[in-house]
A and B are shown apart, each in its own frame.
Chain A
Amino acid sequence: DAGVIQSPRHEVTEMGQEVTLRCKPISGHNSLFWYRQTMMRGLELLIYFNNNVPIDDSGMPEDRFSAKMPNASFSTLKIQPSEPRDSAVYFCASSLGSGTGFQPQHFGDGTRLSIL
């Protein structure tokens, strides 16, 4: 079975550039989550979608970050303009459920982002 698929696996770009991270959730899952992982702050939830609708974006650091889910099989996380402090590993996860009734989340292998 295909798991959560993220692309690219690695991205190195200069500050000020636009960065787009992509995610394909597990087929049939109706919830999608974007996380950021750093040494200092660990795994932080940025935003999650349920049935393609953004439910909670309180973890999005600032207006430079935006996420979309145009359909059930695709989501993007965009940073514009990017800054060196955005360097981190970004994970996408998917699950079944909504509200407090989520099934366990399954994670992709992440995108390692380096902003120079």
Chain B
Amino acid sequence: GQQLNQSPQSMFIQEGEDVSMNCTSSSIFNTWLWYKQDPGEGPVLLIALYKAGELTSNGRLTAQFGITRKDSFLNISASIPSDVGIYFCAGQGGKLIFGQGTELSVKP
């Protein structure tokens, strides 16, 4: 079946640093989504990408839909403590398939 490989699994960074995470797949997707999940809550949509090559920003977050439609990355610039959480990529070609998540820790 379809699988997404998300990396890294976890990151420990200093406040103010930039962060980059990515997802790759052997399958083509029509849409790439990035979600953030805080403890005890459901995933919250951060960015949605609909076209190959699309680069979209949402505040300090920037994400791109890979040209091959098999990958996507998310960058967070100038991290702050409230960026802590688990970030999930998700690819949609019919069903929504989730990556394993990247757990981000930010040291003040």
Tell me if A107 and B44 are in contact (CB < 8 A). Answer: yes
B65 sits at the interface (CB 8 A):
no
Residues from chain A with a CB closer than 8 A to the CB of B40 are 109
Write the nearest CB–CB distance from A95 to chain B, whole angstroms. Answer: 9
Q: Which of B15-23, B66-74, B92-100 contacts A (4 or more CB under 8 A)?
A: B92-100
Say whether A56 contacts B42, CB under 8 Å: no
User: B interface, how many residues as a size bin?
Assistant: 20 to 34
> Contacts A102-B92, A104-B33 hold; do A110 and B41 have CB atoms under 8 A apart?
yes
Say whether B96 contacts A105, CB under 8 Å. Answer: yes
Q: Is the C-beta of B43 less than 8 angstroms from some C-beta in chain A?
A: yes
**Contact residues on A (Cβ < 8 Å of other chain), bracket:** 10 to 19
Within 8 A of A (CB), among B2-26: none
> Measured between C-beta atoms, what is the minimum distance from A52 to chain B in Å?
19
CB closest chain-B residue, reference A45: B95
Q: Which residues of A contact B43 (CB under 8 A)?
A: 43, 91, 107
A-B contacts counted at CB < 8 A amount to 42
Are the C-beta atoms of A100 and B94 separated by less than 8 Å? yes
A42 close to B98 (CB less than 8 A): yes
B94–A42 CB distance below 8 A: no
Question: How long is the Cα–Cα vector from A106 to B99 in the complex, in angstroms?
Answer: 17
Q: Is the CB–CB distance between B95 and A43 below 8 Å?
A: no
> Does A109 lie within 8 Å of B30, measured CB to CB?
no
Residues of A within 8 A of B44 (CB): 107
Judge whether A45 and B30 touch: CB under 8 Å. no
Knowing A100-B30, A104-B33, A104-B48, say if A45 contacts B96 (CB, 8 Å).
yes
Given A93-B42, A104-B33, 6 new contacts (CB under 8 A): A42-B99, A91-B43, A102-B92, A102-B96, A104-B45, A107-B42
